[in-house]
Amino acid sequence: QSALTQPRSVSGSPGQSVTISCTGTNGDVGGYNYVSWYQQYPGKAPKLMIYDVSKRASGVPDRFSGSKSGNTASLTISGLQAEDEADYYCCSYAGSYLRVFGGGTKLTVL
Amino acid sequence: QVQLQASGPGLVRPSETLSLTCSVSGGSIGTYYWSWIRQPPGEGLEWIGYIYYTGATSYTPSLKSRVTISVDTSKIQFSLNLRSVTAADTAVYYCARHILEPGREAFDIWDQGTMVTVSS
């Protein structure tokens, strides 16, 4: 059971769109529609943003959207705002009652 | 509004057992799964395992031989025991409510995290 692969960092200017990828295998991301995304500010607990690949958690702006193609899930943030600067983690069901996280992506708003 | 609050020592000696308890307030411990997740300094998140209120558990393979998660429904709390710790177990430990139902799977409520350092 290996961690899902995310880019270490992504960046974008205010108003732009950015996409963070999360690549796994047929045994996790590709095999189930149970991918979730979490936003984490420094020193704070993670916050659920997206679950079941594309469903927004309560109170999450519709600028945040999720999708999946094959073994890769994606989080897209449109209309980038300064407050979106944070770390983002994906997580997937990995079969046999197991869960696996991605390594995390640091989003910088230029 | 369900809230989670973890408690336990912030310093554990090598080879000893790390023990944390997570208290659930504002809601029931039944119906839901409850997970422990950790984050070493400067690193990513690692799912440790979960427990259902019935006592059913699942653990990540890399820690399975050293970890036990238990639940006390009368006290509305669940606990983590990690045996034979080393410096590699130094991390912020989070407890989280784990929604696990048809059409919905996620960690939706987290505590603020407890930093545990393994050092002599």
Q: What is the mean pLDDT of residues B92-109?
A: 92
Confidence of residue B104 (pLDDT cuts 50, 70, 90): confident
Model confidence at A63, pLDDT cuts 50, 70, 90, reads very high
Q: Please give the Cα distance from B23 to B79 (Å, whole number).
A: 9
Q: Residue B9, by phi and psi: left (phi above 0), alpha (psi -120 to 50) or beta?
A: beta
Residue A48 pLDDT more than 90? yes
A68, β-bridge pairs:
A73
Is the CB of residue B63 less than 8 Å away from at least one CB of chain A? Answer: no
- The pLDDT, as a whole number, for residue A41 is 98
Per-residue confidence band for B111, with pLDDT thresholds at 50, 70 and 90: very high
Q: Over 90: is that where the pLDDT of B8 sits?
A: yes
Residue B43, phi then psi, degrees to nearest 5: -120, -175
The per-residue pLDDT of chain A, averaged, comes to: 96
Segment B32-57 mean pLDDT: 96
* Predicted local distance difference test score (pLDDT) of residue A85: 98
The residue among B60, B9, B51, B85 whose CA lies nearest residue A28 is: B60
pLDDT digits (tens, 9 = 90+) for B74-89: 999 999 999 999 999 9
List the single residue in B with minimal CA-CA distance to A99: B47
Q: Which helix (H) or strand (E) holds B10?
A: none
> In this predicted structure, what is the pLDDT of residue B49?
96
Query: How many whole angstroms separate alpha carbon A54 and alpha carbon A64?
Result: 9
For position A86, what pLDDT does the model report?
A: 98
Q: CB contact, 8 Å: B41 with chain A?
A: no
Q: What does the mean pLDDT of chain B come to?
A: 95
Q: What is the DSSP letter of B73?
A: T
pLDDT of A95 strictly over 90:
no
> Is A64 an 8 Å CB contact of chain B?
no
Q: What's the confidence (pLDDT) of residue B30?
A: 87
Per-residue pLDDT for B5 more than 90? yes
Check CB contact of A89 with chain B, cutoff 8 Å: yes
Nearest residue on chain B to A44, judged by CA atoms? B112
Q: Which residues contact A57 (CB under 8 A, 6 or more apart)?
A: A48, A49, A50, A51, B106, B108
Quote the CA–CA distance of B17 and A110 in Å, as a whole number: 44
Alpha-carbon A62 to chain mean position: 14
DSSP string, chain A: -PPBB--SEEEE-TT--EEEEEE--TTTTTT-S-EEEEEE-TTS--EEEEETTTEEPTT--TTEEEEEETTEEEEEE-S--GGG-EEEEEEEE-STT-EEEB--EEEEE-
